[in-house]
Structure 1
Amino acid sequence: MKTRSLRRYAGVLAMAAPAAAGAQQAATPVLAPVVVTGSLTQQDQKDALGDISVIDRAAIERAGQSSVAELLQRQPGVEINHTGGPQTATSVFLRGANANQTLLLVDGRRMNTATLGAGDFQGMPLDNIERIEILRGTASSLYGADAIGGVINIITRKGGGDRPLSVHGNAGYGTHDTSRVSVGLDGAANGWRYALDAGYGRSRGYNATAKTVGGAPNWGYNADRDGYEQDNVSGSLGYTWKPGQEIAFDFYHSKLNGQFDAGGGMPPMNEYDDRLRQIINLYTLSSTNQLTDWWRSTLRLSQSNDTQRNLVAPGTYGYPEDGRTRFRTRQEQYTWQNDFQVAADQTVTVGYEFLKQRVDGDLYDASAPWPAPPSIAGYGVDSRITNSFFGEYRARFERHHLQFNVRSDHNTLYGGKVTGGAEYGFDITPNLRAGIGASTGFRAPTFNDLYWRNDGGTVGNPDLKPESSRNIELSLNYADDTTAAGIVAYRNRVKDMIVWADRNDGSFLWSPMNIGRAELRGVTLTGSQRFGQTTLRASADFQDPHDRDSGNVLPQRARQIYRASAEQRFGPASAGIEYLWSGSRYNDAANKQELGGYGLVNLTASYDVSKNLTAQLRWNNVFNKDYTLARGYNTPGSTVFMNLAWRM
């Protein structure tokens, strides 16, 4: 970011301090007091180093949003992109990093697919989530591959406390014939804790494709509605058979049936009712054992499956003749972690992790010499194993906070990577902390990058190496009982980025190559202020994510984003207003297709009908602003959603 730009906006911190946004490491009282994503062990959020936000259950319910992506869009440093609604491919950018450079976790377990490389945020519901933790900045020394931009950890409801049984539910209806119902129960008794949640949602949706693009007809236009059905169920069961000894089983299931517009071709191909079906499952068995006063051992065994089936117009190039494809990622992840309390304020953690990834899919293979027809085949190599060793030292010496991490990942396909991280915080006063951090990271090449079949235009490259990054950041955060304010400045340099380009070998094929370089730099300002029953929040992101060779801004990322909100409580009622302004972006890497900036106003309201029943209303895009996230695709317009929430 240019020096004059920093001077121009230096005064924003003063304005943001009394009015600002989601928490950094120093939290306002409404946030969860404990975080688990910023280090290998849980800690009080006030002690956590790094740029961390927490969206707790109360904040999720107040927001009234219907998907994880919509909720994340309200957070500093986060941008989203989709092609026609929550059921379509949804990209989440942290600090300007690519979507496949953001690691998605569910209960701390890896969920990024091994085929596309990104996390599947589309259709992910909110009713079974206890909280969401967002760690901005490179975190491969904590979690391994793909955490160049940061980590989003979705933590499901677990049950606990001292109540034997609590039941909760929601029922809502809104624009586009959108409805959602959910029900759940949780509690604890006699050493057992449990939680079970289930939900179902559907929507007729809206027309995803725009009729014109840049004033010209959109050849991919399809006048149909693109709706979806989604259901989910998750649960947790734990038993503490003696103090410090717990065994637990957790599961998560989500199924999405949706319509989308592939956006290509001419009539009649573009008029086909493209559909997708996605099923995600996660199962985790864990044992936590306090072996001595100073040694705790945790063993986690998990398996996840992400299966996606697509149906496009029969005869579409690059697809099987009937237009049906299937891709699946299966991940087995085993972790053994040992935490040693070496002193009152010093913790050492060491551990080992085993990760096996297996994929299969329907790939279009046109490699056979003419006149042999194309065929459908799987990946030439369909599995890989990563063995990882990791360690952490975390300490506090009066006003000094330290955290060091190191991790070694060795993969059977692309070799080994060693990453590290170091963070230091100094308490200038009990409420004001300055911090500095540096870390390295990497993104692993996907199976699509490595082993994509020759489809006549593209082919994978098995000689790829991982992308690498170096991140450094400075922070200053203030927090007391009613006020929070923060500033974070960062620079993250990424090299060996995997870019698809012409092979220039006479084959006319494109392949992925390690030829890209990017720099992600920026400043984030946040703050919040409470006056009795009034809460004000605001944030500002000034970022410059650009290609280091061409100087072009990375596609679909704005250089400036502002957020502000106000919430007022009136006895049993509350009302709120939100504002989001995003600057212009480019749809393409060449920076030829500009997408205009936009500003959105949202309203929220709730009323406690009784101590067990609350009525909620959310009105998004009050002024029906016409804006574009992806060229050629519509956004939903002005929408209203009403919900009844109950708990007993």
Structure 2
Amino acid sequence: MEISRIGYFKEHYIVDKSANVQIILTKKIIGMTPVSVAGKLSQFDGELAKGKFTGMDSYSRHSSLQRIPGSLIKSYGGMAGITNVSMDGGQPIHTKIVLNGIDLTNPQNGQTDLSDIPNELMQQLYLGRSPNLYFGSGSFDGVVHIRPMINRSFLKLGAGSFGYQSGSAGYNWTLPRTKVHVQYGKNMSTGDYPITQGDSTITRRNNNFSQNFFLGQLHFQTNHQQLLKGLVFSSNQDRGVAGNLSWPSPKAHRENKINLIGLQYVYLTRRGHVRLHSYQRFSDEHYQDPDLGTNSYHQVNVSGVTINGQQNFNDYLELNGIIDLKRESIESTDMGNQIRTTMASGIQAAVRFISWLQIQPGYRIDMLGDFQGKTYDLTSSMNSSIPGKLILSFGTGFHAPTFNDLYWPADSYSEGNPDLKIERNQYQIIRWENNFRSKTNFSIEYRKRHSHNLITWSADENYIWKPQNIDESERKNMIMSVSIPTRFAGLSISGHVTHTKAIDMNTRKTLQYVPESSANILIDYARENFALEFQGQYTGKRTYQGYNKIWEPVNLTLNRFFDVNIGLHCIFPLGAQQLTVHFIIQNVLDQNTAFFPGYPEPGRRIKLGIELGF
């Protein structure tokens, strides 16, 4: 008997009995001519820029966010303090944070508290500079996308200064056409750290922080055209609220949780795709301060459906379209029950007239309850291998009032304003970039933004704080970025320098807390089983309004500082697994890195971690 099969050597057997015979064929390598697969990138230009991830980022969200050119991290002190990020000298309400396509913005205050998102999830960061087509209100300064990795199995433990402890584990199942990833972790800190106040050193108390979280991700490909993606995320925080140095709150306490659920269906066509995304964001916050008799809760729910598609008609024309339906609601001891619905649609085209010139116009309209917002943008790019790439962009954006702005109840100190208007914004961007034949990536960018009807909480003639459309501002940024790839025996260098001029057009004064200059540098040296990282963040002088001894308003200045972090990572192979030991020093120079003067940050900190990857 002759047994033959393609890919195996032939075998001959003489069957002399009727019993079962087991036949094993030996594999044979079949030579073939090369198979080339060619594809084309989307014509849409400059939508997302990926940020580099380092070993230090697992222990500090500041380090990864600081590497985004133009970013400002606004923290209220330590792990327990609220943490926001803004871009180009703007406010946090003008920058969105998105986790796997789900907007994390809290419609109560228009912000995202990054202390609710564990560092373990911030493994891939992408920045969108002109994302108004997809996100509408509150996105005209940019969108930071967080995309947790799905193909990691690990066990991680860490400890450090001021009672810091962390532990997390993740496991990944890979099946035919299916990937499943689950992750659970816990982070905690006693948080009490020494600070300098006047001529004495005191301990800042009531900074305890405890967080536990769960993440589940699913990728299921039914066939070569259909893909199903799911996300479940939940985090619970229990923290002390230390308050301002001038008005401390030694007994204040806050518990909050945030839950996310998302399901995406993607259908691929020959020249594009259609995506259906259903999502829900739920948060629950409980705040207590027995000294003031405060006992409040806020439950916020956002649910929506987004349909977007992309179609490439030929080499010269491509279209994007989006329809977004969303419902926002709040149940609050302060504002009662409030509901707002949003309906939005937008379209964007990419037109390539010749190989090196492309025009990209876009338009979107939003109906947010009683408000209407219209945005447009136009981007042109000219690309050539020798002079590099030149991008010109201009457009508009807007921000709708939040639930707090509209419905905060009237009391002896504050009051909402139901008559507020939408904030408006216009921007112009010029960017030149060149990779100098892959030797050095260099870019220089000029951004100009003019905003009016800005919503600002200020005291009226009766000393009642309420929001008003009174501010108008102009921001100008010059940003230079450089990245030298790994070419010198494992050494790579990257960084950026930002110069900002941000003016309040009413007072002709610099916007508060905005540094005129800032810079970041990352030096990364890696060998086979060893990595050393050095990151420095320079923040220039910032002005703000304070009060003198007789409570007269005066202009004050915060000193410049240089925040240095160092990370050392050693890898030890363990058969098919590997063990990584992390040693990290944060704020090496032990400088005052507080963003707000009344909310000091901890000084020098040391963290040690081990991670088993398998």
Question: Structure 1-normalised TM-score?
Answer: 0.82
- Structure 2 partner of 1:155: 147
Whether 1:615 and 2:593 are equivalent positions in the alignment is: no
Q: Structure 1 residues 248, 603: closer, same or farther in 2, change over 3 A?
A: closer
Aligned-partner SS, 1:615: strand
Moved over 4 A (4+): 42-45
Measured against aligned partners, the alpha-carbon deviations of 1:384-409 in whole angstroms (never above 9, x if no partner) come to: 10100111112444112332221110
Q: Give unmatched runs, 5+ long, in structure 1.
A: 1-41, 160-165, 364-377
CA contact (8 A) 2:225 2:267 kept: yes
Structure 2: stretches of 5+ with no match in the other structure: 1-38, 547-552
Deviations 1:291-325 (A, max 9, x none): x42352211111101222222233x2xxxx3x221
- Alignment pair present for 1:305 and 2:282: yes
Matches within 5 A, 1:398-413: 398-413=355-370
- 1:629-644 equivalences under 5 Å are 629-644=595-610
Larger Rg: 2
Alpha-carbon contact 2:231-2:262 (below 8 Å) kept: yes
Out of 219, 223, 229, the residue aligned to residue 248 of structure 1 is: 229
Aligned counterpart in structure 1 of residue 525 of structure 2, from 550, 563, 568: 568
8 A Cα contact 2:541 2:559, kept in partner? yes
Please give the secondary structure, in 2, of the residue aligned with 1:122.
helix
Query: Residue 90 in 1 paired to residue 86 in 2?
Result: no
Tell me how far 1:579 sits from its aligned partner. Answer: 1.9
Contact 2:243 2:599 in 1 (8 A): no
Closer/same/farther in 2, CA of residues 511 and 601 from structure 1, 3 Å limit:
closer
Match of 1:596 in 2: 559
* Displacement of 1:430: 5.9
- Structure 2 CA distance for aligned equivalents of residues 345 and 126 of structure 1: 42
User: 1:223-266 CA deviation, whole Å, 9 max, x = no partner?
Assistant: 42512111111111132112111223211111111112122777
**Shift in alpha-carbon separation, 1:591–1:196, aligned structure 2, 3 A:** farther
Matched, 1:275 2:275: no
Inter-partner Cα distance in structure 1 for 2:316 and 2:580: 43
**1:330 aligns to 2:311 (yes or no):** no
Matched, 1:261 2:269: no
Cα distance in 2, alignment partners of residues 332 and 616 from structure 1: 40
1:346 to 297, 301, 317: 317
Could you tell me which amino acid in structure 1 is paired with residue 296 of structure 2? Answer: T
Query: Partner letter of residue 109 of structure 2?
Result: L
CA-atom RMSD in angstroms: 2.5
SS at match of 1:448: helix
Identify the residue that residue 54 of structure 1 maps to in structure 2: 50
Could you tell me which of 433, 436, 449 is aligned with 2:392?
A: 436
Q: 8 Å contact 2:382–2:390 — kept in the other structure?
A: yes
Distance 1:294 1:428, change over 3 A: closer
The one-letter amino acid paired with 2:510 is V
Once the two structures are TM-superposed, the CA of residue 187 in structure 1 deviates from its matched residue by 4.2
Task: State how far apart, in whole Å, the 2-side matches of 1:313 and 1:588 are.
Answer: 30
Out of 446, 449, 452, the position equivalent to 1:492 is: 449
Instruction: State the partner residue of 1:9.
Output: none
- Is contact 1:586–1:592 with CA below 8 Å preserved after alignment? yes
1:108-507 counterparts in 2 under 5 A?
Answer: 108-136=101-129, 138-159=130-151, 167-207=153-193, 211-212=197-198, 223-263=204-244, 270=248, 272-290=250-268, 292-294=269-271, 296-314=273-291, 316=292, 321=293, 323-344=294-315, 346-363=317-334, 378-379=335-336, 382-396=338-352, 397-413=354-370, 415-429=371-385, 432-479=388-435, 480-504=437-461
Letter in 2 for 1:140: N
1:561 to partner: Cα distance: 0.5
The SS at the match of 1:242 is coil
| Contact kept? 1:67, 1:123, Cα under 8 Å | no
Distance in 2, matches of 1:429 and 1:643, equals 44
| Residues 1:428 and 1:338: Cα distance change in structure 2 (over 3 Å) | closer
Deviations 1:30-55 (A, max 9, x none): xxxxxxxxxxxx9969x763485312
Q: Does the residue aligned with 2:534 lie in a helix, a strand or coil?
A: strand
Deviation at 1:338, TM superposition (A): 2.3
Q: Which residue of 2 aligns with 1:5?
A: none
SS of the residue corresponding to residue 93 of structure 2 reads helix
Deviation of 1:139 after TM superposition, in Å, equals: 3.2
Deviation at 1:640, TM superposition (A): 1.3
Decide which of 519, 540, 561 is 2:474's aligned counterpart: 519
* TM-score under structure 2 length normalisation: 0.86
Matched to 2:243, the amino acid is: A
**Shift in Å at residue 481 of structure 1?**
2.9
Call closer, same or farther: CA 1:548–1:52 in 2, change over 3 Å. farther
Distance 1:474 1:140 in 2: 18
* In 2, Cα distance between equivalents of 1:508 and 1:536: 51
Q: 1:141, 1:577 → 2: CA distance? A: 37
> Is contact 1:64-1:617 (8 Å) kept?
no
Q: How many residue pairs are counted as aligned between the two chains?
A: 563
* Counterparts in 2 of 1:225 and 1:621: CA distance versus 1, 3 Å: same
Aligned residue number for residue 14 of structure 2: none
3-state DSSP of counterpart to 1:612: strand
* Partner Cα separation in structure 1 for residue 40 and residue 331 of structure 2: 39
In structure 1, how many angstroms separate the alpha carbons of the residues matched to 2:40 and 2:119?
Answer: 24
SS at match of 1:634: coil
Contact 2:477 2:498 in 1 (8 A): yes
Name the CA shift for 1:627/1:336 in 2 (closer, same or farther; >3 Å): closer
